[in-house]
Amino acid sequence: MPEVLKAPLVVEFPFTRSVGPVQSAFLTGLRERVVLGVRTRDGRTLVPPVEYDPVTAEELRDLVEVAPTGTVTTWAWNHEPRRGQPLTSPFAWVLVRFDGADTALLHALDAPGPEAVRTGMRVRVRWAEERAGAITDIACFEPYEGEGAGEDARVGRGEHAGGAAAGARHSGEFEDAISGIVAPARLDYTYSPGRAQTAYINALSGRRTVGERCPSCRKVYVPPRGACPTCGLATAEQVEVGPRGTVTTFCIVNIKAKNLDIEVPYVYAHIALDGAGLALHGRIGGIPYDQVRMGLRVEPVWTDGARYPDHYRPCGEPDADYETYKELL
């Protein structure tokens, strides 16, 4: 089996997230070095503040301020930070219960090594120098030697450090409160189209269009995807189709697509290559756009270095009769 094709696929987008009132208050608060929680009806204080009670599903809106200090409830040492994580040198992931809170927040703890981290240790927020109203306004946590230091808080199942110690009510109102965040996300993949499409693409580099025939229904699939979709069987027999074909239907594109450098108007058409069981897509050139018609006979026009035909142009044959291609519409 010849080597399959592979290429990087980067999926990247800066998502624009509106955050709603509770999250806006919390994230804006971080910008102002204020840590907010939210109170539930039964008196728990949740930090970070969530919009809906995880137990009762009630909408939560009563904000309180808590101190920027807390206790580690569990941790994990990350000796190899990955892209996007809060610190670039080894750090501990921690869940931190802020003083006055009943729930914990996930973040990073800057510590010299795993031997310096333990459940129950006291930590405080290290604020980012530049803050914009995002969870990353907390640069990380750091060990806290101040009040309560040296004396680990007890952390156990079902025990609450919060309750009565919870902080003062907070209006949640700030000047220039943020209404949203921009969350860039990039994931890197290595894409491989698999066996059948690799064969198809390799043939294209010789300017040949090669499909695959279904062993059962005998239809020729172009491009082949490895299976006959109606029979659910693997295809293997290779069949060259075209190069000429028939325009089965089309539209005239009058708006420029962002990612395409094609002057409008142009014709985007479905083209049934001779011998193919279904139409593929291409642009029609070499003819005024308003003279393209269903049934037009065309041939591919290749340009150097391109994987696919640049466009198809009339080949001079008389138009195909509707009856000959109506099944391919």
Partner 1 sequence: MTREEAPARREIAVVAFAQTDHRRTSDEFSEVEMLMPVLHNVLGQTGLRTADIGFTCSGSSDYLAGRAFSFTLALDGVGAWPPISESHVEMDGAWALYEAWTKLLTGDADTALVYAYGKSSPGSVRDVLTRQLDPYYVAPLWPDSVALAALQAQALMDAGDTDEPALAAVAARSRADASANSHAQLRGPVPQGDYLVRPLRTGDCPPIGDGAAAVVLAAGERARELCARPAWIRGIDHRIEAHGLGVRDLTDSPSARLAAERAGAFEGPVDTAELHAPFSSQEVVLRKALRLGDDVRVNPSGGALAANPIMAAGLIRIGEAAARIHRGESDRALAHATSGPCLQQNLVAVLEGDPR
Partner 2 sequence: MSKEPVAVVGIGQTKHVAARRDVSIAGLVREAAARALADAELTWADIDAVVIGKAPDFFEGVMMPELYLADALGAVGKPMLRVHTAGSVGGSTALVAANLVAARVHGTVLTLAFEKQSESNAMWGLSLPIPFQQPLLAGAGGFFAPHVRAYMRRSGAPDTVGSLVAYKDRRNALKNPYAHLHEHDITLEKVQASPMLWDPIRYSETCPSSDGACAMVLTDRAGAARAPRRPAWMLGGAMRSEPTLFAGKDFVSPQAGKDCAADVYRQAGIADPRRDIDAVEMYVPFSWYEPMWLENLGFAEEGEGWKLTESGVTELDGDLPVNMSGGVLSTNPIGASGMIRFAEAALQARGLAGEHQVERARKVLGHAYGGGSQFFSMWLVGATPPDS
Which does residue 93 bind out of partner 1, partner 2, none, counting CB within 5 to 8 angstroms by kind?
A: partner 1
Contact pattern from residue 127 through residue 166 relative to partner 1, giving x for each residue in contact according to CB under 8 A and a dash for the rest: -------xxx------------------xxxx--------
Q: Report the residue number, 78 or 248, with the smaller CB distance to partner 2.
A: 248
Nearer to partner 1, 85 or 324 (CB): 85
Q: Does 75 bind partner 1 (CB under 8 A)?
A: yes
Positions 14 through 53 that interact with partner 1 (CB under 8 A): 15, 17, 19, 23, 26-27, 46, 48, 50
Q: Segment near partner 2 (CB under 8 A), from 63-71, 90-98, 112-120, 246-254? A: 246-254
> Among 58, 145, 188, 274, which residue sits at the site for partner 1 (rule: CB under 8 A)?
188
SS (H, E, C) the chain: CCCCCCEEEEEEEEEEEECHHHHHHHHHHHHCCCEEEEECCCCCEECCCCCECCCCCCECCEEEEECCEEEEEEEEEECCCCCCCCCCCCEEEEEEEECCCCCEEEEEECCCCHHHCCCCCEEEEEECCCCCCCHHHEEEEEECCCCCCCCCCCCCCCCCCCHHHCCCEECCCCCCCCCEEEEEEEEEEEECCHHHHHHHHHHHCCCCEEEEECCCCCCEECCCCCEECCCCEECCEEEEECCCEEEEEEEEECCCCCCCCCCCCEEEEEEEECCCCCCEEEEECCCCHHHCCCCCEEEEECCCCCCCCCEEEECCCCCCCHHHHHHHC
Rule CB under 8 A: is residue 39 a binding residue for partner 2?
no
Residue 219 contact, options partner 1, partner 2, none, Cβ 5-8 Å cut-off depending on partner type = partner 2
Which of residues 154 and 258 has its CB atom nearest to partner 2 in the complex? 258
306 touches partner 1 by CB under 8 A: no
Could you list the residues that contact partner 2 (CB under 8 A)?
5, 7-11, 13, 15-21, 23, 50-57, 59, 179-180, 183, 185, 191, 193, 197, 201, 217, 219-221, 228-230, 248-255, 257-260, 262, 265, 268-270, 277-278, 281-283, 294, 307-308, 322, 326-327, 329
